Structure 1
Amino acid sequence: MKVSLKWLSEYVEVPSNLKAFCDRLDLTGTGVEAVETLGATFEHVVTAQVLAKEPHPDSDHMWVCTVDVGACNLDEEGNPQPITVVCGAQNFEAGDHIVTALPGAELPGGVKIKKSKLRGVASCGMNCSARELGLSSDHSGIMILPEDAPVGVPYAEYAQLTDMVLDLEITPNRPDCLSMVGMAREVGAMYRIPYRNPLNSMAEKMQPVREGRAIDSTVSITIPEPDRCPRYTVRIIRGVKVGPSPDWLVERLASIGQRSVNNVVDVTNYILFLFGQPLHSFDLAKVRNAHGYANIMVRAAEEGEHLETLDGVDRVLTPDMTVIATPDAGPIALAGVMGGAATEVDEGTTEILLEAATFCPGRTSRTSRNLGLFSESSMRYERGVDDHGIDVRSAAACALIVEVAGGEVVYAITNNEGLVDAWPKKTEPKQLQFRISRFCQMMGANIPRAIVVEILKRLGCAVEDNEGDRLQVVAPTFRPDLEREIDLYEEVLRLWGMDRIPATLPGGRGRFGTRTAAALANDIVVATLRASGLNDTMTYSFADPADMERLGMTFEAGVLPVELINPLNSAQSVMRQSIIPGLLRSVAYNQARGVSDVQLFEMGTVFSTAEGRKKPKERQKVAGVLAGSLQRAGWNTAPVQLDFFDAKGVVENLVRELALFKVRFAPLSSEEAPFLQPGRAASIVAGGTALGWVGEIHPRACEAFEAKGPVAAFELDLGALQKSRNAARPYVDVPSFPPIEIDQAFVVDEDVTAERMGQVIKSAGGKLLESVQLFDVFRDEEKVGPGKKSMAFKLVFRSPERTLTSDEVEKAVAKLQTKVQGATGAEVRG
């Protein structure tokens, strides 16, 4: 959520030290994602005055204007010099004060201003309308400023548009903070200062007019299933004039990235961001029937029903979705998500039916995600909108609509507020207790009782303080997350300051702790990967359901992803089945920002399930990616691109440090691992236990995740590593006798692997053969034959008991050659 500090400061005193304020927000659980300076987009946009207006010599509708921009344009002697601007607007005269964009300005929508010629006349800027500045939809002409407006002043400074805007990460359990008033309350509680709620003063301005037909005889509300809609209210405003919004309202919405639509819609958006109360305005004439009556029904959608939403898309509905409907017109809005195009407020609207309601969070969330339709309203409804106070917030909206669009609120026979209210399911406040002694004991700090009471009251809780150990607390209904006593503890602690809790060691007698074998193995894995040049990272456990398809990774039949019931968004609606997609996104993110050398690893959980399984299956894995080079280019060295063998080397380091025996790297085919490059992929097996795989990610998979290849990767099962790990490697004494090294080459068929040759040679070499190393592979049809290759090995012979003789080694080599020839069909190459 974006919060304008200029707007926020109207309700609470905002600290002057912005960095300290942001740090404090982070410490109390509200993450600051970014800080934006508003007004920077109006660079090179200044206030100006038209000195002369002459017809264009080659156009019947354009004007050649001499525009004074003050000191923003100087002549060679440094004196202010007017500029020439060709303009097609008709609503200005010489002497008018206007807004002009100079060359170098970039307007909303990516419009860049530069010197140009329009039908042969040079133009050094552009006279701007409100829409061209992104301030409203008004494009009837250029903006005319008051006569006393200064000349040559940056427009952002003149209009006081300069503002600091915080982009805040509001956690799903804090719907109350998705509003300016909610954030003002939060800041007031953080700094123990008062805040001002503008609600009462706004609502007091609304006085229903007791003339004409009452709202009770015009509108009725029916809610067959209260679980779908706990409360639904409507008001009617007649005699409105839909048009552009006043500047102050446009400025308020622009400060948080919202574009002005018209005065009525802008008011509903203003109330949404001010109080966190979504509203929807219907054109009453399009809602009521032939008898002038509007029978509003909040019901389940029928299978196959259609609704064209405000974005112009025809939506096919299902019974899981909730709609606002009438008996004659059918669905007219998707409850909590978006209104229908057929009842939209437009320039011809004179009577408005204003909806203020609250809907089931779960159904709103599913509807929004199933249709891929997200809005500011749905984001708040799916987190929970308080059903208490809806009537007052609705009254405030009506008062504001009357102020900016004229008209009058229709009265009600049954009450003095002009409200039709259906409230079948009322949320009752939670009655909680707060034990001071238990709180201090659990927190490890003696927080004064008075501060505890003050913090709870500033958060909106009602506190009955009887001077005993227990406080009786009534949690406000706008805080659905305060359900238990421990929730109150958390609130007091985070606002008092968790950083103020002294660090202590847990007490105990005759007790000592030790690390488990699994924890020790994990420590070795982390240390080894870091020593291999990889950096540890953390990615989301939530994943996009299309990730596995993008990657090309398949699973055995019956293995399914774990779907979330209430996901944060459609791109995080399942639990991850592999760590690799998240790491590939990290590679792409770094590469897009100029970091080409990326080596990362992550230890984490992957999830899967199967048909009929009650609980998901969780497995601990470690995965890594290597892209770019491990070393930078020097004057005498060129960077070496990381590839399959580098990733395999990292895995071999793990194998060595974990003391794994009988480890094999078996080739993987394209059918077995379609997400890996053919010929550069291998499975890893220790004894009879599968550990995982290593290889280069297929170019198609890299492209799907916008990563630049080649990217080498591996993914290993931590449980398998822990199971196969040995406590220590066998001790080998330092050799006392010299080795004898023999280079031996064999000509074999192309399909004979180095692994196969190594196994046969080791088996045939006997006890005297200490090591075997492949050091050359040679192919030449003339010298070794078609379909053949020569593989040269370094053989090291040594005895731990004596110095070997030439005869012993020659006999051992001859025996080895015979066995290798018989097992592989190899020929000894001279």
Structure 2
Amino acid sequence: MKVSLKWLGEYVDVPADLKAFCDRLDLTGTGVEGVEVQGQTFDKVVTAQVLTKVEHPDSDHMFVTTVDVGPWNLGEDGNPAPLQIVCGAQNFNAGDHIVTALEGAVLPGDFKIKKSKKRGVVSYGMNCSSAELGLGSDADGIIILPEDAPIGVPYADYLGLSDTVLDLEITPNRPDCLSVAGMAREVGAMYRVPVTYPLYELEEDGSLVSASEQVEVAIADPARSKRYTARVIEGVKIGPSPDWLVERIAAAGARPVNNVVDVTNYILFLFGQPLHAFDFDKVVSKDGKARIQVRPAAEGEKLTTLDGEERELSADMTVIANEFGPVALAGVMGGLDTEISESTTKVLLEAATFDRSHTSRTSRSLGLISESSLRYERTVDDNPVADYAAMAAALIAEVTGGSVAPGLVDVWEERTQPCSLTLRVPRFTQMMGIEVPVEDIADILERLGCEVDQSSDPDALSVVAPTFRPDLAREIDLYEEVLRLWGMDRVKPTLPASPGRVGHRTDDQKLFALIDATLRASGLNETMTYSFADPTDIERLRMDPVSLGDAVELLNPMNADQSVMRQSIVPGLLRSVAYNQNHGVKNIQLYERGTVFSAREGAKKPKERQKVAGVLAGAMAEAAWNAEARPFDFFDGKGAVESLLRELAVPKVRWRALEADAAPHLQPGRAAEVLSGGTILGWVGEIHPLAVEAFDATPAVVAFELDVQALGKSSRPARDYVDVPTLPEVSVDVAFVVNEDVTHERLMQCMSSAGGKLLESARLFDVYRDEDRLGANKKSMAYALSYRAADRTLTGEEVERAHERLVKKVCGATGAEVRG
């Protein structure tokens, strides 16, 4: 929200030190996102006087003028001379005081003023209308200043437009700060200074027919609107707003429209109360009475909003309607057919409150976010609605020359009641770690609008929270208010008292730390991607959706590309790979540990699992003079996983080859499932090229994804101690000729089973294929076997018997032959 310090300063003393003020706002929870010094917009825009005005020799609607701009008078040769400007406006004469933009000026809309030729005549600037300066909607003629206006003065200084505007980030729980008056209250509480609020005295014209005789209001569903009020202003004359009103509206970031609409925006920015003005004659029934109804929209009903777009409505949306149909989208935007126009003479002024959830869903489903919807989404207090309506009616009558009809039509279905709380001072001191005098606590709360009573108990304050602070619902909320305004920087850090207790990390924290440390040691860099995902991610990855379960859909996604919760971490990592590759980074090693989600039928909450995933693309290192760059392949990914399993002391690790139908997202023959005994831990493999390209990345990409909970359950907190061998080993090499479909894993299982306690290790050191020597579809796998006994030195006979038994069982189980 934009807040003009000039406007804010009318109600509360604003500190002169802007930086200190912004820092204090940040500390109290109101973030300052930007600071804009206004008046700079009108650089090289000055007051001037028309000296001569003659018709353009080659145009029937333009004039060639000479304009006195005071010290800015410089001719083409650089000598003092009035400026020659070609102007198409019709509303001025020689001698008029006007506003002129000089060469080099940049007007709203990034419109740059340059020396130009208009039908053969050189023009050295532009005579400006209010629309061209962003100060109104009048574009038909240039601005005519009073006769006593000075010449050659910067227009910002002449209007007093020099101002500083803060762009503030208001948190969703603070709807009271979405207004100048609310921020004045906040600043008053921050600096303990008095605050004054604007008052407008409403004068009703008793000669007019009362509002209740002209307007009838009905609320069909009180859950959608607690209160709806209507006032009638007659005899209005629509036109530009006075300068002070235009200045306020422009400072708040809105575009001035006309005097009636500008007043509604003024009250919105000043008090945070959205209003809407209807042309009474466009909503009235045939009998001369306006019958307004707040009701749900009919499914498929249509309304053309003020932005000119026809919108199809749903039953979840709320509309303001008359007997002919909807005339406004409640809480969001008015209808085009009933807007205020130059022909309007009678205004129906709406001031109401609407349900925050319906407003939010309507705004987002239609992609229509307005200043009104932003406030209704955060809750608008229904108690002061009538007061704000009266102020707005008085202002409209003042700026339009109209008269306010007697009375207020007020349908109040449910009144928001203030919340009564008790603040226990000793409890506050204990929890906050600081002693704040009771008088200061009471003063802070009272400046925030609370009613405070200490008469019943010296150690407790009875507090009635104002209805415009829906966030003050618990005692702890009062603690937060006092502490943030007292100054959290004044609280000295202390350690909590905990005698006899020593803090330690949980088992999960230890597991997470070990996973992170191991993967970093393997050369992978930790990253973090969004938990929100594109619903097409799993399809593009070619992963089997059945194994992942149903996706968790978001009710209010930020955009269509992030409308579900992720079911796998890999798609996000592939996007990171593509981003790095597109920015010239060839060698990429990333991992992420995070949560994945899946829907559970009949459950209110989704199923959540912790996963750790990694990707490797490119090569481990760039090519050097003595070595070529070796691209990452399956075994690099497998090695990273092996390192992790070794550090976690996961027993009985197995690698099971994955076929194409079981893992369509991986390259056949370059993919494996990781198991510990019978527990599936995850998978590792090269991502299928089609899946990689679907994420705009370049193959090849190696990836793995493991279940963290499964890793934790399979890991062993303590390793078995193995003494250093003191007795010699006996090494034997053996080569088995087997069919191509016999795997290394199968041979290792057979050897481990047959070797018994004497077989200490078996290491594959060669794979050989030769169709002429071995036969078709055959391969030779050579192993280095190590035999050792823990309690004695093995004899040759023992080793020979054990080795013969091993060879016999391996050959019998796999059909292998020993290669000589």
TM-score, length basis structure 2? 0.80
- The 2-side partners of 1:783 and 1:797 are apart by 28
In the alignment, does 2:224 pair up with 1:228? yes
Deviation of residue 129 (structure 1)? 3.1
| Helix, strand or coil at the partner of 2:231 | strand
In 2 relative to 1, CA 213–85 (structure 1 residues): closer, same or farther, beyond 3 Å?
same
Give the 5 Å matches for 1:225-624.
225-326=221-322, 328-412=323-407, 419-466=408-455, 468-529=458-519, 555-556=545-546, 559-562=549-552, 577-578=567-568, 603-622=593-612
- The 1-side partners of 2:81 and 2:98 are apart by 16
| Helix, strand or coil at the partner of 1:220 | strand
- The 1-side partners of 2:695 and 2:269 are apart by 35
**Is the Cα contact below 8 Å between 1:97 and 1:147 reproduced in 2?**
no
**Is the Cα contact below 8 Å between 2:137 and 2:240 reproduced in 1?**
yes
Give the 5 Å matches for 1:724-739.
724-727=714-717
Partner residue in 2 for 1:189: 189
In 2 relative to 1, CA 76–135 (structure 1 residues): closer, same or farther, beyond 3 Å?
closer
**Is the Cα contact below 8 Å between 1:224 and 1:298 reproduced in 2?**
yes
In 2 relative to 1, CA 148–337 (structure 1 residues): closer, same or farther, beyond 3 Å?
same
Deviation of residue 610 (structure 1)? 2.7
Deviations 1:171-202 (A, max 9, x none): 2222112222112212222222222222xx1x
In 2 relative to 1, CA 512–339 (structure 1 residues): closer, same or farther, beyond 3 Å?
same
Partner residue in 1 for 2:9: 9
In the alignment, does 2:32 pair up with 1:32? yes
**Is the Cα contact below 8 Å between 1:70 and 1:80 reproduced in 2?**
no
**Is the Cα contact below 8 Å between 1:99 and 1:144 reproduced in 2?**
no
- The 1-side partners of 2:420 and 2:162 are apart by 45
Deviations 1:560-610 (A, max 9, x none): 444566788988776554556777888999999999999876544443323
- The 1-side partners of 2:484 and 2:685 are apart by 46
- The 2-side partners of 1:49 and 1:450 are apart by 61
- The 1-side partners of 2:362 and 2:512 are apart by 42
- The 1-side partners of 2:443 and 2:70 are apart by 54
**Is the Cα contact below 8 Å between 1:131 and 1:137 reproduced in 2?**
yes
In 2 relative to 1, CA 507–59 (structure 1 residues): closer, same or farther, beyond 3 Å?
same
| Helix, strand or coil at the partner of 2:546 | coil
In 2 relative to 1, CA 34–580 (structure 1 residues): closer, same or farther, beyond 3 Å?
farther
| Helix, strand or coil at the partner of 2:328 | strand
| Helix, strand or coil at the partner of 1:404 | helix
Deviations 1:279-299 (A, max 9, x none): 111111111111101121222
- Greater displacement, 582-591 / 296-305: 582-591
- The 1-side partners of 2:642 and 2:490 are apart by 46
In 2 relative to 1, CA 86–377 (structure 1 residues): closer, same or farther, beyond 3 Å?
same
**Is the Cα contact below 8 Å between 2:422 and 2:463 reproduced in 1?**
yes
**Is the Cα contact below 8 Å between 2:31 and 2:168 reproduced in 1?**
yes
In 2 relative to 1, CA 305–112 (structure 1 residues): closer, same or farther, beyond 3 Å?
same
- The 2-side partners of 1:689 and 1:383 are apart by 49
AA partner of residue 488 (structure 1): L
- The 1-side partners of 2:13 and 2:701 are apart by 51
- The 2-side partners of 1:587 and 1:81 are apart by 63
**Is the Cα contact below 8 Å between 1:683 and 1:693 reproduced in 2?**
yes
Deviation of residue 687 (structure 1)? 4.9
- Greater displacement, 712-721 / 490-499: 712-721
- The 1-side partners of 2:223 and 2:589 are apart by 50
Deviation of residue 508 (structure 1)? 3.7
Deviation of residue 651 (structure 1)? 5.2
**Is the Cα contact below 8 Å between 1:50 and 1:98 reproduced in 2?**
no
In 2 relative to 1, CA 372–72 (structure 1 residues): closer, same or farther, beyond 3 Å?
same
Deviation of residue 320 (structure 1)? 2.9
- The 1-side partners of 2:732 and 2:154 are apart by 82
**Is the Cα contact below 8 Å between 2:551 and 2:597 reproduced in 1?**
yes
**Is the Cα contact below 8 Å between 1:622 and 1:715 reproduced in 2?**
yes
In the alignment, does 2:720 pair up with 1:719? no
Structure 2 portions without partners, runs of 5+: none
- The 2-side partners of 1:769 and 1:43 are apart by 83
**Is the Cα contact below 8 Å between 2:567 and 2:597 reproduced in 1?**
yes
Partner residue in 2 for 1:658: 648
In 2 relative to 1, CA 398–510 (structure 1 residues): closer, same or farther, beyond 3 Å?
same
| Helix, strand or coil at the partner of 1:352 | strand
Partner residue in 1 for 2:210: 214
- The 2-side partners of 1:669 and 1:74 are apart by 80
- The 2-side partners of 1:178 and 1:141 are apart by 36
Deviation of residue 236 (structure 1)? 0.5
In 2 relative to 1, CA 156–658 (structure 1 residues): closer, same or farther, beyond 3 Å?
farther
- The 2-side partners of 1:263 and 1:157 are apart by 24
- The 1-side partners of 2:669 and 2:197 are apart by 67
**Is the Cα contact below 8 Å between 1:667 and 1:681 reproduced in 2?**
yes
- The 1-side partners of 2:670 and 2:91 are apart by 70
Structure 1 portions without partners, runs of 5+: 413-418
Deviations 1:716-756 (A, max 9, x none): 433233223333667788999999999x999999xx99xx5
Partner residue in 2 for 1:415: none
- The 1-side partners of 2:637 and 2:251 are apart by 49
| Helix, strand or coil at the partner of 2:545 | coil
CA RMSD of aligned residues (A): 5.3
- The 2-side partners of 1:391 and 1:362 are apart by 23
| Helix, strand or coil at the partner of 2:263 | helix
In 2 relative to 1, CA 370–129 (structure 1 residues): closer, same or farther, beyond 3 Å?
same
Deviations 1:770-804 (A, max 9, x none): 65589x999xxx999xx99x9999988878899xx
- Greater displacement, 425-434 / 56-65: 56-65
Partner residue in 1 for 2:21: 21
- Greater displacement, 566-575 / 508-517: 566-575
**Is the Cα contact below 8 Å between 1:70 and 1:81 reproduced in 2?**
no
| Helix, strand or coil at the partner of 2:452 | strand
**Is the Cα contact below 8 Å between 1:233 and 1:391 reproduced in 2?**
yes
In 2 relative to 1, CA 108–568 (structure 1 residues): closer, same or farther, beyond 3 Å?
same
- Considering only CA atoms, is the larger Rg found in Structure 1 or Structure 2? 2
- The 2-side partners of 1:152 and 1:824 are apart by 104
- The 2-side partners of 1:407 and 1:386 are apart by 29
Sequence identity percentage: 58
AA partner of residue 329 (structure 1): F
Between the two proteins, the alignment pairs up a number of residues equal to 803
- The 1-side partners of 2:567 and 2:402 are apart by 58
In 2 relative to 1, CA 706–43 (structure 1 residues): closer, same or farther, beyond 3 Å?
farther
- The 2-side partners of 1:643 and 1:35 are apart by 52
Deviation of residue 682 (structure 1)? 7.1
